[in-house]
Structure 1
Amino acid sequence: MPNPPTDLPYLIAPDPARPGLTRQVQGVDHTGAIGPISVVEERPLTIFLNGAEIVTAMTIGDYPEYLALGFLRNQGMLRDGETIKGVDYDDDLQVVVVRTDGTTTYEEKLKKKTRTSGCAVGTVFGDMMEGLEGLTLPAAQVRTSWLYALADQINRTPSLYLEAGAIHGTVLCHQARPLVYMEDVGRHNAVDKIAGWMLSETISAQDKILYTTGRLTSEMVIKTALMGIPVLVSRSGFTAWGVEIARQVGLTLIGRMRGRRFVCLSGEDRVLRDANLSAVADEPRKSARKGGGDD
């Protein structure tokens, strides 16, 4: 049975008012006026596993421990049941070290590293389809009333995107309730932070919804499926391979969700259209997030 909704408070990260996430630079607008423009900071974070350097990701720098844990889990470098002995972050060196009680197989995976169409650490180690064979996700029902309520709340949440743009958001949800909101310069970073949080807090995935502003590409679908989340929703569009994989594993895949509109290309039979469309407001321009072809 799915676990009940977590009692943990809704975690929104990063705080757009937090110092060091943005900087002011002088710019010129379309009228020729000169003034300060807020832009997102970007810094490297190097992830080690049991003493071996695995990857350097470009990130905004918040929640490095969640990012490291989620990245290693989503790349298949942390096995189910493996005990995590420690996660140590050095802010000066911008390094995070994850230590486990098991032997890792990262050497072979590093030899087979594959670049994908993703941004930031959109990298898959080894066979992209590894772990999907025989995988069938829970047939979780999703109500359109939940989707509209989530989209409205997420779009109105104070965020770094609304402050400076050039960033992606990902939200873990249970029914119509957002649980964790993460942002980063790459949509994969944001997803990995969610995965790291779920691993740290021992949160079940089988009754959750993952909402993202990023494109529904093959690697985004693969990450969601391997995390065990049965529903993936995005403001953006799809790739053909992403749709094919979603149908293969039974993932409900919903994209181009803005205002009253959305498109479901996998799992349509699990979508319950219970919302009154006349009561669903158009998306306010001032709170609109990016989507479409943005990366």
Structure 2
Amino acid sequence: MPTAPDASRYLIAPDPSAPRLTRVVRGVDHAGQPQEISVVEERPLTIFLNAQEIVTAMTIGDYPEYLALGFLRNQAMLAPDDVVTGVEYDEDLEVVVVRTARQTSHEDKLKKKTRTSGCAVGTVFGDMMEGLEGLTLPQARLRSSWLYALSAQINTTPSLYLEAGAIHGTVLCEEDRPLVYMEDVGRHNAVDKIAGWMLQEGVSGADKILYTTGRLTSEMVIKTAHMGIPVLASRSGFTAWGVEIARQVGLTLIGRMRGKRFVCLSGEERITWDADPDAVPDEPRKSRRKGAEA
């Protein structure tokens, strides 16, 4: 049996034993027998950009500063030349305030608009799409052997994804090495945490791969493009618009990546096929079971 990878090799790895992230809940199973299972916690986090409230997200509560920074960057509310002067988190109020050296255009936009949840999402998505105009990602090469190595390491790393399900994982990788592994109840939150870490640490996405357990939707593709990452891979499937945008910006898009199988719908000309799929073992049963639940 393969052993789980050493989580200390990650720059940031999941901590499934952290007390605030899960709760034991009692119930009964299909046979009426008592059961105790771990379930993931959800808590609200309100994000401010300077004095303007932007959004309240439901999150598991770890890395709130990274989540706030990444959300604002991926929604194009922080421009590349905006200078962040502070990120303040109040655990009691469950609020993060991101402060910049100058007022951004999004503060005025939101103040002048009466927002319902639908209007707010529409405004944000429109701004995200505008940020793609003229964007072309680095044409980075990808080896199929890297995909198999990453899948094997990530899917056996101790995580909330394996422990409790009902959660998504996203991993920033370089070649065949996973670097930063974030989890959350929303796949977009997990991606935003990685974006926030990259922004704060000054890490470039040009030579990176983003791996996710979530669907390859237009939102996921746009966020990856805004992060400057040229490869996006997932255990899950695609949406047509996600594929269309990936082709537009030159993103290599790989989905349905389980065991020895995967499908590439954008950027296949940039893949070097250097691994024999017949030599790749099937996924462990536990990995497949939790993947279906999440």
TM-score, normalising length from structure 1? 0.90
- How many angstroms apart in 1 are the aligned matches of 2:79 and 2:278? 47
- How many angstroms apart in 1 are the aligned matches of 2:278 and 2:31? 40
Q: 1:31: Cα distance to partner?
A: 1.6
- What stretches of structure 1 of length at least 5 have no aligned partner? 1-7
Give the percent of matched residue pairs that are identical in Structure 1 and Structure 2. 77
Quote the residue 1:199 is aligned against. Answer: 199
Quote the residue 1:157 is aligned against. Answer: 157
Alignment of 1:67-78 (within 5 A): 67-78=67-78
* 8 A Cα contact 1:114 1:126, kept in partner: no
Q: Which one is further off, 276-285 or 41-50?
A: 276-285
- Any idea what SS the aligned residue of 2:130 has? coil
* 8 A Cα contact 1:113 1:124, kept in partner: no
Quote the residue 2:174 is aligned against. Answer: 174
Distance 1:112 1:76, change over 3 A: farther
- What stretches of structure 2 of length at least 5 have no aligned partner? 1-7
Q: 1:74: Cα distance to partner?
A: 0.5
Distance 1:11 1:169, change over 3 A: same
* TM-superposition CA deviations, 1:73-92 (whole Å, max 9, x none): 00111111221111010111
Quote the residue 1:24 is aligned against. Answer: 24
* 8 A Cα contact 1:23 1:41, kept in partner: yes
Tell me which amino acid in the other structure corresponds to 2:196: G
Distance 1:122 1:21, change over 3 A: farther
Q: 1:11: Cα distance to partner?
A: 2.9
Q: 1:186: Cα distance to partner?
A: 0.2
**4+ runs deviating over 2 angstroms:** 11-14, 107-116, 121-128, 287-292
Residue 137 (structure 1) aligned with residue 146 (structure 2): no
Larger helix fraction of residues? 2
- Any idea what SS the aligned residue of 1:129 has? helix
Alignment of 1:10-159 (within 5 A): 10-107=10-107, 109-110=109-110, 111=113, 124-159=124-159
- How many angstroms apart in 2 are the aligned matches of 1:285 and 1:115? 40
- Any idea what SS the aligned residue of 1:58 has? strand
Tell me which amino acid in the other structure corresponds to 1:200: Q
* TM-superposition CA deviations, 1:249-280 (whole Å, max 9, x none): 10000000000000000000001110122221
Q: 1:246: Cα distance to partner?
A: 0.4
- Any idea what SS the aligned residue of 1:132 has? coil
Distance 1:123 1:215, change over 3 A: farther
- Any idea what SS the aligned residue of 1:225 has? helix
- How many angstroms apart in 1 are the aligned matches of 2:18 and 2:123? 29
Count, aligned residues = 283
Quote the residue 1:209 is aligned against. Answer: 209
